[in-house]
Amino acid sequence: METQPSASEFTYQEPFPHGEKPVEYRLVTSDHVSVARFEGNEILKIDPEGLVRLTNEALRDVSFLLRPAHQRQVAAILDDPEASENDRYVALAMLMNSMISARFELPFCQDTGTATVVARKGQRVWTGVDDAWFISKGVHKTYTEENLRYSQTVPLSMYEEQNSGNNLPAQIDIYAGEGMEYRFLVFVVGGTSAEACMKTVKLASAGYHDTLPTTGNVGGRAFRDLELEAQLLHAAHTIGFGAQFGGKYFAHDVRVIRLPRHGASCPVGMGVSCSADRNILAKIDARGLWVEEMERHPERLIPERYRGRHEVAGVKVDLNRPMKEILETLSRHGVSTQLSLTGKLIVARDIAHAKLKERLDRGEDLPRYFKDHPVYYAGPAKTPPGKPAGSFGPTTAGRMDSYVDLFQSRGGSMIMIAKGNRSPQVTEACKKHGGFYLGSIGGPAALLAEKSIKKVEVVEYPELGMEAIWAIDVVDFPAFILVDDKGNDFFRR
């Protein structure tokens, strides 16, 4: 009995058949390009320094500016009658953060990410060099000349590593295509993102696959499912989490892409693009070097009634008191309560926590500062001249979950500040030891540096760079109670 399907004639199906997407570009320069002829065909010759210039220009823009369409989505929250006050508060903070970062001094987010370039090089484009080398040079120029953070850790041996000191290596993928154009998608992504979902999922979240067809075919092409996208966006709007702390706007957009699969597999990839939606298109053609036009004046999107506003609502909390008194104050309020914090915070993240655990493993105690002050999970970007701090937003809290019970049992980490949800073991530890986890808005790192952070100094481990332990003085630092001392968790209500 014949069990195999009959063979069909050969046809080539482009796996991701993109349509045309209207993009407004700005001309960077007409230098570095020329047109020549080879075997009767025109070819585009690119001076390799043009790759450096284009990469530098695109990365600089995308570190400080976001796309107009994204900013319009954020601004729409302010006039949506279904939006909660928390939604509007976060949306306004994002737009004010964009206003500050648009000055090209404080980047939008403190995690200025892994530089990633996805390029498609036409067959009639000639550079004569290893393109990735010159693209990397453009990455190096951007990160060393701007107030961006060095986040790349390089291994020296299996168990030894250090910061690369220039944010290299970058992730660079160059594909062959047709024609006489060189097209680029340039983006930066923070930790736990690109490495988990680089290919289809990350490119979808960057808008790269927006012009895919909306139906499949026998060739197995990728397509978007618009109906399921709408259903999932509705679910995101009704889940109740809102723009981080309750409300409607848990998501702006959803993309659902269906791919062919092996008969024995049913893989599902899921990823997010955060409020620092840093994606930019670029291209090189016979007319010059081009980058996508970004939103340079986000202030125009803020309604008049919100302009100039920066008061931080919520319960005022003086952090320059004994820890016992601060805990008593927090204990009088429930989860989702908005707070305005003033005083000293200790800043410590992944490696700092590991260093402190090593002390306990050696029979030593936690340092006094770790017991006397709340701990903020963060790592700053470079400090601009004349500023007290660089962009200094929170990092994701979950990576520090395994330390909480141990540290709280020794009197440390009694109040933690970061972004994102925590595991049940953190909720249990806070209930057992009387601790709290406070949520800081993920995203407006430039706004925090500009308005709330007044002083920054290294406490220990300066050799760790952004992973050092810092002390910062803050005024009206916004936060929300997410886990309290009674076993309540905002995300599990």
Q: Give the model's pLDDT for residue 79.
A: 93
CB 97 within 8 A of CB 71: no
pLDDT along the chain (493 residues), means of 10: 66 88 94 95 96 97 94 94 89 91 92 88 96 96 94 74 84 92 90 58 86 84 90 93 82 86 70 81 95 94 81 87 97 94 96 96 97 95 90 90 98 95 96 96 85 93 91 94 96 82
With the CA atoms of 307, 310, 315 and 320 taken in that order, what torsion angle do they form, in degrees rounded to the nearest 10?
Answer: 180
CB 403 within 8 A of CB 413: yes
Q: Give the model's pLDDT for residue 9.
A: 85
Both tokens assigned to 292: 């996508």
Q: Give the model's pLDDT for residue 191.
A: 65
Helix 424-433 × helix 401-409 angle, to 10°: 10
d(CA 25, CA 54): 13
d(CA 283, CA 179): 13
> Which H or E element spans position 63?
helix 48-64
d(CA 73, CA 77): 7
> Which H or E element spans position 161?
strand 161-163
What does the DSSP assignment read for 333-395? S-TT-EEEEEEEEEE--HHHHHHHHHHHHTT-PPPHHHHHS-EE-B---PPPTT-S-S--PBP
| Chain centroid to CA 481 | 23
> Which H or E element spans position 105?
none
List the end-to-end C-alpha distance of the chain, in Å, as a whole number. Answer: 58
Instruction: Identify the three-state secondary structure at position 18.
Output: coil
Strand pairing of 279-285 and 182-189? antiparallel
Please tell me the pTM assigned to this model. Answer: 0.77
CB 258 within 8 A of CB 216: yes
Tally Cβ neighbours within 10 Å of residue 351. Answer: 19
d(CA 167, CA 187): 14
| Domain boundary assignment for the chain | 25-155+164-262+269-306, 315-492
d(CA 227, CA 208): 19
Strand pairing of 114-122 and 171-177? parallel
Look up the CATH number of domain 315-492: 3.20.130.10
Q: Give the model's pLDDT for residue 119.
A: 96
Closest CA to 418 of 446, 390, 399: 399
> Which H or E element spans position 256?
none
Distance (Å) of CA 167 to CA 195, 251, 278, 466? 16, 30, 17, 12
Both tokens assigned to 248: 């409607």
